[in-house]
Amino acid sequence: MLVKELTGIELPVPFGLDPNVFMLLLATPVVFYGGWMFYVDAMHAIKNRTPNLALLVTISVLSACIFNVGATFFFKAETFSEAATVLMIS
């Protein structure tokens, strides 16, 4: 989506998928596999009642993912798949 906004070039989406569905499919493995260490640390932080940065990252990324699923399938809104992915890889 960012490439389209900056350059005006729209890249083709494979298999005729909706671009938001394709972005969600690309972002899901990154968010869940790449964020696994954050999720484990966040669970330890909740159990020990000591909030930390892992808890903040977990809340922000998972809320973006839940919103993306809703915006992709249930209601019309702008999606944040690339933002959730960038938070994971930063």
CA dist 28 and 80 (Å) reads 12
Does pLDDT of 9 surpass 90?
Answer: no
pLDDT confidence of residue 87:
81
What does the pLDDT read at residue 13?
Answer: 84
* Domains in the chain, number: 1
Residue 20 belongs to some domain of the structure = yes
Inside any domain, residue 3: no
Residues contacting residue 14 through CB under 8 Å, at least 6 positions apart: 22
Specify if 59 maps to a domain: yes
Query: Over the stretch 33-86, which tens digit does the pLDDT of each residue have?
Result: 988 999 999 999 999 999 999 999 999 888 988 999 999 999 998 888 888 888
For residue 79, is it within any domain?
A: yes
Give the structural domain span for 71.
Answer: 14-89
**Residue 6 belongs to some domain of the structure:** no
Please give the structure tokens belonging to residue 48. Answer: 């020990």
pLDDT tens profile 50-60: 999 999 999 98
Pairwise CA distance, residues 75 & 28, whole Å: 19
On whether residue 61 sits in a domain, the answer given is yes
- Is the CB of residue 88 less than 8 Å from the CB of residue 35? yes
Give CA separation, 34 vs 7, 24, 30, in Å.
29, 15, 5
pLDDT given for residue 4 in this prediction: 76
